[in-house]
Structure 1
Amino acid sequence: MVLSEEGEDQLHKKLLDLCSKLNLDQKTVSIAWDNFTSINKNFSLEGESLNWLGCAVFVASQSIEVTTIGTTVIKGNGINLTSLLRYSNLSFAQFFNNINKWADMAHLPDEFRRKIDRLKDTFGVAHNTFKRFYPIFSKIFASPNSTDLETTKQHRNRKLRPVLCNTSKVFEFIWNLFITLKGEDPQCSSELVKSFHLLYACLDLAFKNAFLAERRDLLNPNFEGLPADWNNPGFIVPQEAPCLISYLCKCPSVVTEARYMKVYVLRRLIGNLINNKVLLADNRNFTGLFDQHNFEQNFKNVVNAYETHLLNCADVDERIFLAEYRRQLLEQQNNTWAQIGRASSVTFAEQSVIASPPNNTNSFGAATPRGSDTPLTGRVYLPREADVLPLSMDKTITQKITRLHNILNNRSPAASESLLALFENCQVDPLPTIQEVLNTLVDKFVSVYISALPNKEEDARNRIQIGITLFYKFIENILENEKKIRNDISTLLKKELFYQCMFACCMEIVLFSYNFPNKFPFILDIFEIQPLHFVKVIELIVRSKDQLSREMVKHLNRIEETILETLIWKSDSPIWGAINSSGEGIPKYESTALPGHLVYSDRHSVRNGTSESNGSNTHSPVPSALDRFQSPVNSASRQLFSQVQSGQSVLQKHTHLMITDKDGNKKLIPIMDCDKKELINNDSSYGQPRKLNSLSLIFRKFYNLAGLRMEHLCMKLGLTDIEVKQKIWTVFEDSIRNSDLIRDRHLDQLLMCAVYVICRISNSTLKFQDIMKFYRDQPQSGSNVYRDVLISREITDDENGTVAEKRSDLISFYNSVYVEVMQRFAVRFRSSIPNGNLLLSPLPAVKRDLISPSIQVVGNVFVRPLESPSTASTGGFNYFFSRSPSKDLKDINKLVNNNRVAGKRLLADDDLDIEIAANKRASNRKIQSLVEERRNQNNE
């Protein structure tokens, strides 16, 4: 239903009815109606009108300041979010989706978006914690029976009826106590691991009270944590109850953190509740909670304390999980308890109708980049997805921590004997320098961590120890690889910047594994490291022999993309000084590309090399760690160096021959050196010296990233003509090299503008909205990229000389800034203007299949998506599901079993399409022989 079909009076009546059910004041009603009418007039709101009215009410309620219990003034009128969603016919997933769209349409401030993100995190953490709570409770305590539930249902409105201490009420009491304590510590609400630890501590406390009171009616007699003689008639209850932390946590490091939560955090929080008369219990060992004369008052006081918290904070009412629990359990017991018996309790939790909100959304106006999606670059480093089982949110985070500790492998936070042996071969022992760098960075981290999260120094120290252990392990791996490339690694070990970046990356891995609320570039701000330097170590760590988890690799790939797309182009970035020092300005892609990574007009001439680093595949020689930290060399020095090394001018050393085929397409054929009998393509790219300093490597990564995104965007837009793509790339490359447009802006902004300007010149019917629509399909896309673009900067006339920024959307940037700068260059690509002499830049060689790369099944057998029958390889067997006969599959099985099949041979390449037919390869060999023969004649 489209909202325009409803009259204004009808919509206003619905709003009044909704606000009446929520007991809202007239001011909130008025603001909500004004906001709704404004949005409804400017945008097409599709769906149920009550859903959008609920969003308008929520936004209006957050703009009002009210005084809560006491003297605290908060922004928000204490609206019950759960009731709002119930009366608005919204699930939590729908609410978070709609409210993010509303925030985009209404241009709401970042403060509001952060609140929504916090609510989303809080609900997700609570949802996944409850899913773990029920199965654990059912193992420790006796399962609630139908008598308990019916008694609760029958007498819930009778004031004189006491609250019985049965398993059903104990279940509710533990959850109410947990969410009350969680509200006192914001970190437990946003971090799933800490939420689990607090839940474990609450379960341990409840078990202790039931065990010491010998409440056999509450405990499960088959629970493994009970003493072996628990069921014996003469059992004597000891003074101390068994600790459940070791039973609930398996990983040693997790046990340590959970015990810290029990001994320090829970003791402090429970002590405060006892001192404030919320709980009636022994204030020394916290026993007596389940005594009949205490339990009823404790139950009521905890519920009241949580309701007070809801009025102060207007959070999600996490008691909704209890209501769902009671409904489903009663339904099971009344209908199918006899058949189900005591089936797996995990099944109940998974069947909950309360859906956890999605981590990202594909809908228009997503407020934040979808960082959990797989980035376009670096997919070759990801472990096989078939090996990664789909996990719930709680299991995923627990798995991240477990894998992190598996990498540590019980190492100590110090240099190993192998690493010390590497240091001994250096001219100067780097260990004192490393320790000095670490001490400085550790002090900075602990200081900022504690200021962000007070009373969390113990957590900070724990994270630091893990980070130092990772640091020494990765340093050892990288130096072992470096030793294989060059004998002397002393130059690298003298660079303090290398250690700083390595430690920062290790700490980012630790914080990500523990779901730290502050996201990247938080770690760079702590250590005051420039993104340009930090990006140099990411690939070194990802390539380490200790394979990181799939989610960790995706996270680091996304960080690398973030740095390359925007962070290195900030005004205060050192890249501008490095460019000036190089004496050449920003290079073209072809001057940084590896041999065979350029696409001219013939697509089939692409694959005479392999992609490096940021491309889809990488088997090329990898730049060493020292190469990444080399300073840029100016052009004069580089040419002199080349002359000294080769004994001749670079211009005199021809490495490739340009030929033109019958169709007029140009090809480059590498020339064979007759003396060395090898292709001369190791130190040059198409006649130009290969640049190995850090700046060139950065630009190579940047251009590869831009090429991938352009190819993906063109594929979605249907721009398949290679000449059109070359024009787009040439315009984009010129906007980077010969203008200041990229400064303080985003790669994707200039890329979309380049696509649109070529579409306009080519008289295409594509609109800017079409480009942005398909851009949103890319995993890194965010609405801020096209809604918040720098237009200009002006220095105000005040004493401080404040810089005022003017920002608007991407279309305004294109019309007011981009066209003015690029018009004279772009107009040369008009079809009406002869451009025979206009040299188009070659494209980066990227895989056509950007969505689903080929997957290795076994040995030399690979599966990849079918694009068209014409793409089938003639050099191996192909089997098309639902189309090929069974004989083809039998032939493939023979090959897998190493049985020869006449007339066929195995695939020679594990991941690349075989695009050059045998006759073309033979032709190239003939040309090569001809070139060699003529060269020998000249030498004679």
Structure 2
Amino acid sequence: MSDEEERLVKIRTRFEDLCRALNMDEEASTEAWSSYENISRNFTLEGSELHWLACALYVACRSSVPTVGKGTTEGNYVSLTRVLRCSHISLIEFFSKMKKWQDMAKLPQDFCQSTDKLERNFTVSAVIFKKYVPIFRSIFKTPSEELLRVHRSRKQRRHPCSVSELFNFCWVLYVHAKGNFPMISDDLVNSYHLLLCALDLVLTNALLCSARRDLLNPSFKGLPEDFSSRDYRPPPGPLCFMEQLCELHDGLVLEAKGVKEHFWKPFIKKLFHKRILRGKEDSLSGFLDPMNFGDSFLSLSRLYEEQVLASGGLDERIFTGEGASEDIGTPEPSLCEEVENQDSTLYRLHTSLAASVLKVSTPLTGRKYVQEVRLASPLSTAMKSVGRLHTLLSGTRYGPSSKLTQILRGCSRDPSDVISQRLKDMLDIFTQHHEDSTDDSKGMEKDMAVKFFHLSEALYYRILESIVEREKMILGDADLSCILEQDVFHRSLLACCLEIVTFSYRPPGDFPRVIHTFQLPAYHFYKVIEVLVRSEQGLFREVVKHLNQVEEQVLESLAWTSNSPLWHSLQSAQVPTCQEVHENTNSTWFYFTSGGDISPGLTCSSSTLVTPQPSGDSSSSAVDGGEEERGDLIHFYNDVYIKQMRQFAVRYSRSSPSTGADPPPLCPYPTSRTGSPRRMLLSSKHSIYISPHESGSAPCPALPRERICYYICSSPPNRLQEINSMIRTGETPSRKRSIPLDKETSPKRVCPDNHTALLRRLQDIANDRSSSR
């Protein structure tokens, strides 16, 4: 047996052990091993073989399986988390190798898109979990503050939940709800608001259950004012803490309330109706009671496991597990780990404070005047993007404004009806593309798609109005019917607005899926981007950078596909051939024109002689029958350069009769442009200006008493203190008028002996420089 065969036998043995540990069916294991053998023969698989076998098993598990009833089902209900744990591969490494496996196996596009969505879901959940831990600790007590539970007998199974159990319950409730809404599962903003809804529900139940108020943190700012009193009674009616949670933890109130009304409440009511959550269905409360919590948690966990196995997704309870750092691939602190590390954190904090006190302060750095740089998290960036989008669309309705309506009616052919009908058709296409197959969430997914489209429609009309006004400024009173009747322009503009809205909610956007949805060529989509950015000045920086990346992606690959209209444009434009481009570049004079190669001219000027060289014959023959003539550098020097430069060069000779009387003009100095900014007002509240400092020999004019000037690199530092004092108090400090710093002593006079020729020489230089400017 050769070494290669022996290696395959060992790999086969490990693969069979892995299949037995996963209880894998024979059909899926055979398919996985066959694909591994084919790829290993054609490619070099670096790293552990078991990791690549895990990728092959995942692909085999997600293949379609025929059912007895009807149709097919995807997957064989094998958990991805179990596959990763049994193969000893972290989640981040799995996604990295899975992308390579997809390229090597040439898997279908639908499978690649599902894997990409799975990775985006994991990324969103990782960001949300980092926010979940500190928010939960601010609302509820930490496990260290909880009283030790008394040992109970086996018959006494009903017991109040602990803080750690409540932590896990709230996270499972959230990830189960997020998995039921596929459209917002990778939406960072709406996923965060869904987490706030889960925390709001648990907080409300803790307040309504009198026996469970001990779980709450008394220092939480969102609690009612009289919560600490013994006679506290919850107010009648439903409780809601969404405004307080959004205010304390950077949420958008309107967006969060919309998610709660349209997504969260119907979902929770179904859980109560199906007896997954035990309690009062009318008030959505009671599941924290000791008699209901255990059954509710167990039923919810089972339901979530079924959902994960059916969808083939990731079991996001991995974040709260004991080996979360090993399973994920990055150190991720849990709730208990943070509590255990509090002492070490406090020690490091005191050490750093002591070190900062003993550190010598350096006034030259001026760091105390610089604001502290706070690194923005992906969630805070997404929240700011959504907030800026709503600010941009504030006061804009879902339709054309009165001004745009008047402009459209002023055209020879009113395009208003065509535009509105086009938007309705595109709305139908967009909603059909985003509808989910399950009946439970189909209506909710459609509502989210309609919401995104309406925001895009408002942005579309706003930008269309800006484009039309810009064209009217250029063309005057010309008829714009021809421009407004271009169907591809309007469809591309709306698709670009939809990409902006999608990017604001779900970075990094939905491109190129948006152009595939509406069957738009990437070339036409690219032409609309620059028009949109120029017309709308209110776009925030992140959106402009994203559109630049989209342009680069189109220029790199998408515009050069076989069915791209770019090829037709190139054929109709009659692009010149390479022979026509290089027709004029072969001439000798081409290299001495503006922008050409001036190296021969510089070489000749460095060795200028009035007498032709004795070896001035050309070493190459001239080309007959054409306007151009080829020759070497010596031929150019004798026949071209000397004829043009003889009279000028003679003036530099000592034997010239005009030496001293008619000196040649000197090359003028380049005009120096002031680098300082123009005089400008720095603040609308204070009279503070910055202007360029004109340095010269003339004395500075006397300044009024109420003005204080500070010259960079020359004024003393107390001038800045006086300016700061003037801003704070509004009064000018009374002081004596200072001597201008720019005042200089008069220059020394030149000795009068034999200075006539020198003065005449200096006067000629000054005249030459003034005439050349």
- For Structure 1 versus Structure 2, the TM-score category normalised by the shorter chain is 0.5 to 0.7
Equivalent position amino acid for 1:168 in 2: S
Output the CA distance in 2 between the equivalents of 1:589 and 1:230.
83
Letter in structure 1 aligned against 2:253: V
Alpha-carbon distance in 2 for matches of 1:475, 1:267: 38
Structure (1 or 2) with the larger CA radius of gyration: 2
Taking the aligned partners of 2:560 and 2:528, their CA distance within structure 1 comes to 19
Match of 2:314 in 1: 316
Deviations 1:554-574 (A, max 9, x none): 332233344445555556555
1:235 aligns with 2:225: no
Q: Which of 279, 283, 286 lines up with 1:285 in the alignment?
A: 283
Instruction: Tell whether the 8 Å contact from 2:430 to 2:449 is kept in structure 1 after alignment.
Output: no
| 1:278 counterpart SS class | coil
Compute the displacement of 1:97 (Å).
0.5
Q: What amino acid is aligned across from residue 33 of structure 1 in structure 2? A: W
2:108: which partner in 1? 109
Kept in 2: contact 1:211–1:241 (CA 8 A): no
Counterpart of 1:204 in structure 2 is: 200
2:177 counterpart of 1:181: yes
SS state of the match for residue 316, structure 2? Answer: coil
1:49 paired residue number: 49
User: For residue 380 of structure 1, what is the aligned residue in structure 2?
Assistant: none
Q: Is the 8 A contact 2:64 2:72 kept in 1?
A: no
**Partner of residue 307, structure 1:** 305
Deviations 1:703-733 (A, max 9, x none): xxxxxxxxxxxxxxxxxxxxxxxxxxxxxxx
User: 1:240, 1:194 → 2: CA distance?
Assistant: 26
CA displacement at 1:391 relative to structure 2: 3.8
Structure 1 residues 476, 415: CA separation in 2 closer, same or farther (over 3 Å shift)? same
Tell me which residue corresponds to 2:510.
Answer: 519
CA deviation after TM superposition for structure 1 residue 539, in Å:
0.8
1:551 aligns with 2:551: no
Q: Which residue among 165, 171, 183 is the counterpart of 1:169?
A: 165
Asked if 1 retains the 8 angstrom alpha-carbon contact of 2:142 and 2:339, the reply is no
Kept in 2: contact 1:66–1:76 (CA 8 A): no
Shift of 1:216: 1.9
Assess, with a 3 A threshold, how the Cα gap between structure 1 residues 26 and 505 changes in structure 2: closer, same or farther. closer
Counterpart-to-counterpart distance in 1, 2:25 and 2:580: 67
Distance 2:429 2:337 in 1: 53
Q: Which residue among 449, 458, 463 is the counterpart of 2:447?
A: 458
Aligned to 1:622: none
1:219 counterpart = 2:216: yes
Q: Is residue 286–residue 292 contact of structure 2 (8 Å, CA) maintained in 1?
A: yes
**Letter in structure 2 aligned against 1:508:** E
- State the alpha-carbon separation in 2 of the partners of residues 34 and 570 from structure 1: 34
User: What per-residue deviation string (whole Å, max 9, x for no partner) do you get for residues 80-139 of structure 1?
Assistant: 221222232211111100111112122222233123212212212222222222222222
Distance in 2 between the 1:31 and 1:503 partners? 45
The equivalent of 1:727 in structure 2 is none
Matches of 1:473 and 1:327, distance apart in 2: 46
Q: After superposition, where does 1:811-830 map in structure 2 within 5 Å?
A: none
Q: Which residue of 2 aligns with 1:437?
A: 419
Residue 464 (structure 2) aligned to one of 465, 475, 488: 475
Separation (CA, whole Å) in 2 of partners of 1:129 and 1:67: 37
Shift of 1:217: 0.6
What is the deviation of 1:244? 2.1
The aligned runs of 1:301-700 (5 Å cut-off) are 301-324=299-322, 328-334=334-340, 336-337=342-343, 340=346, 391-413=376-398, 428-429=410-411, 433-434=415-416, 436-453=418-435, 454-455=442-443, 456-479=445-468, 481-482=470-471, 485-488=474-477, 490-491=479-480, 494-497=483-486, 498-515=489-506, 519-524=510-515, 529-544=520-535, 546-569=537-560, 573-575=564-566, 578=569, 582=572, 584-587=573-576, 661-663=598-600
With over 3 angstroms needed to count, the CA separation of the structure-2 counterparts of 1:271 and 1:71, relative to structure 1, is farther
Gaps of 5+ in 2: 325-331, 350-370, 436-441, 603-674, 679-710, 718-740, 743-767
TM-score (norm 1): 0.53
- SS class of match (1:65): strand
Find the aligned partners of 1:388 and 1:545 in 2 and give their Cα distance: 30
Q: Quote the Cα distance in structure 2 between the aligned partners of 1:412 and 1:292.
A: 50
Contact 2:140 2:217 in 1 (8 A): yes
For the structure 1 residues 451 and 416, does the alpha-carbon distance in structure 2 shift closer, same or farther, using more than 3 Å as the test?
Answer: closer
| Range with bigger deviation, 309-318 or 254-263 | 254-263
Whole-Å separation in 1 of the counterparts to 2:205 and 2:399: 43
In structure 2, the partner of 1:879 is none
Secondary structure of the residue aligned to 2:143 is coil
Question: Aligned residue for 2:295?
Answer: 297
Cα distance, 1:452 vs. partner?
2.1
Aligned length: 571
Q: CA deviation at 1:528?
A: 5.7
8 Å Cα contact 1:482-1:489 kept in structure 2:
no
Conserved 8 A contact 2:404-2:465:
yes
CA contact (8 A) 1:289 1:298 kept: yes
Instruction: Give the aligned partner of residue 76 of structure 1.
Output: 75
The code of the aligned residue for 1:228 comes to E
Do the aligned residues in 2 keep the contact of 1:61 with 1:76 (CA within 8 Å)?
yes
State the one-letter code of the partner of 1:320.
Answer: I
2:97 equivalent in structure 1:
98
Residue 287 of structure 2 aligns to a residue whose secondary structure is coil
- Give a deviation string over 1:40-92, Cα, whole Å, max 9, x none: 23222222333223223323333473769x98853322222212222322111
Q: Given the superposition, is the C-alpha separation of residues 564 and 50 from structure 1 closer, same or farther in structure 2, using an over 3 Å criterion?
A: closer
The one-letter code matched in structure 2 to 1:10 is K
* Residues 234-293 of structure 1: per-residue CA shift (max 9 Å, x gap): 323211344222233359994333223222322222222222222212222211111221
1:8 aligned onto 2:4: no
Name the TM-score, length of structure 2 as normaliser.
Answer: 0.63
Q: Distance in 1 between matches of 2:553 and 2:478?
A: 30
The answer to whether the 8 Å contact 1:437/1:500 transfers is no
Change (3 A) 1:26 1:339: same
Distance 1:227 1:589 in 2: 79
Offset at residue 314 of structure 1 (A): 2.7
Superposed, which structure 2 residues align to 1:773-922 within 5 Å? Answer: none
TM superposition shift of 1:208: 1.8
Asked if structure 2 preserves the Cα contact closer than 8 Å seen for 1:221 and 1:231, the reply is: yes
Aligned to 2:121: 122
Residue 23 and residue 858 in structure 1: after superposition, are their counterparts in 2 closer, same or farther (change >3 A)?
Answer: farther
Deviations 1:503-547 (Å, cap 9, x if unpaired)?
Answer: 332222112222299933444455565444333221122234625
Q: Which sits farther off after the overlay, 212-221 or 555-564?
A: 555-564
Residue aligning to 2:658: none
| Residue 892 of structure 1, CA deviation | 11
The RMSD of aligned alpha carbons is 4.7
Q: Quick check: 1:66–1:77 contact (8 Å CA) kept in 2?
A: no
Equivalent AA in structure 2 for residue 216 of structure 1: R
Using CA pairs below 8 Å that are at least 6 residues apart, which structure has the higher relative contact order?
1
TM superposition shift of 1:337 = 4.2
SS of the residue 2:213 aligns to: coil
Which residue does the alignment assign to 2:358? none
Q: Among the aligned pairs, what percent are the same residue?
A: 33
TM-superposed CA distance for 1:396, in Å, is 3.2
Amino acid aligned to 2:419: V
Distance in 2 of aligned mates of 1:253 and 1:416: 30
